[in-house]
């Protein structure tokens, strides 16, 4: 498959057209940003690791009843996906208080939530992905009520698959962010990635952070943490 026109370049990925109108190629970059692009760096091997982790998880999510955009991994840093238009609503699922949730609500990081919390943000670099609710998304034409019902249902299916999957590999899934897209026929599918860039992973024994917070918070050992997560995700039980 050959790359065509660059359709979109984000902070961590590029999306290319292909000769097949229903397919795109996604290229994962080593670039890392935090605090809405204020902090920037390269993380060696990150693109390949996030590509590999996503390529390992998405087919299993598909099996678990979550349709995704993923078709196949093409190379270290590329995957073939079904073409979607991204719905500009980022969906965050939280099991344990951390990050912006802890800050906003004054809840200590590490506080276990009595049930998963689904949050929605408007996907806008210019605005720093502000928190919204589903009424906002409908009123501004970003998604229909039916799509939002489906998105919540799929996000909770992802949650139900991933929590025990990671627990079996010695990892607590603290929270994660999903993006959804529409196929040409309007079907809502899981898009984007699931990786240490988009999830918080804490070691089950030590609570050591194994995700992008090592970069955000200057904890060091960023590459090692990403490699460790790849090893755990792909571990055969």
Q: Is 198 in the site for ligand C5P (CB under 6 A)?
A: yes
Using the structure block, give the residue that is written with the tokens 């720093």.
128
The count of chain residues that interact with ligand C5P, using the rule CB under 6 A, is 14
Q: Is 200 in the site for ligand C5P (CB under 6 A)?
A: yes
* DSSP code, position 218: T
Angle between helices 46-63 and 145-167 (to 10 degrees): 110
In whole angstroms, give the CA distance from residue 211 to residue 228: 10
Which residue, 37 or 145, has its beta carbon nearer to ligand C5P?
Answer: 37
Which residue, 70 or 120, has its beta carbon nearer to ligand C5P?
Answer: 120
Q: Is 212 in the site for ligand C5P (CB under 6 A)?
A: yes
Minimum separation from the CB atom of position 81 to ligand C5P (A): 18
Q: Select from 78, 129, 147, 228 the one that contacts ligand C5P (CB under 6 A).
A: 129
Q: Select from 10, 30, 62, 100 the one that contacts ligand C5P (CB under 6 A).
A: 100
Angle between helices 46-63 and 222-233 (to 10 degrees): 30
In whole angstroms, give the CA distance from residue 28 to residue 12: 6
In contact, 137 and 143? CB cutoff 8 Å? yes
In the complex, the residues that contact ligand C5P under the rule CB under 6 A are 90, 92, 98-101, 129, 175-177, 198-200, 212
């Amino acid at each position: 498959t050959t790359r065509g026109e660059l359709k979109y370049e984000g902070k961590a990925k590029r999306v290319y057209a292909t000769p097949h109108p229903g397919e795109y190629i996604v290229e994962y970059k080593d670039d890392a940003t935090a605090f809405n692009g204020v902090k920037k760096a390269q993380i060696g091997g990150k693109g390949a690791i996030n590509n590999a982790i996503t390529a390992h998880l998405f087919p299993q999510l598909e099996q678990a009843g979550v349709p995704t955009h993923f078709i196949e991994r093409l190379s270290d840093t590329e995957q073939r996906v079904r073409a979607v238009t991204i719905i500009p609503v980022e969906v965050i699922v939280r099991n344990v208080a951390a990050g912006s949730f802890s800050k906003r609500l004054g809840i200590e990081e590490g506080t276990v939530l009595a049930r998963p919390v689904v949050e929605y943000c408007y996907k806008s670099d210019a605005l720093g992905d502000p928190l919204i609710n589903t009424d906002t998304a409908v009123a501004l034409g970003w998604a229909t009520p039916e799509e939002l019902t489906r998105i919540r249902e799929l996000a909770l299916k992802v949650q139900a698959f991933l929590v025990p999957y990671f627990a079996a590999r010695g990892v607590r899934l603290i929270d994660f962010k999903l993006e959804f897209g529409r196929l040409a026929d309007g079907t809502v599918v899981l898009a984007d990635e699931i990786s240490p860039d988009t999830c918080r992973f804490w070691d089950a024994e030590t609570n050591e952070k194994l995700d992008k917070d090592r970069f955000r918070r200057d904890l060091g050992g960023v590459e090692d943490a990403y490699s460790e997560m790849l090893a755990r995700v792909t571990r055969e039980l």
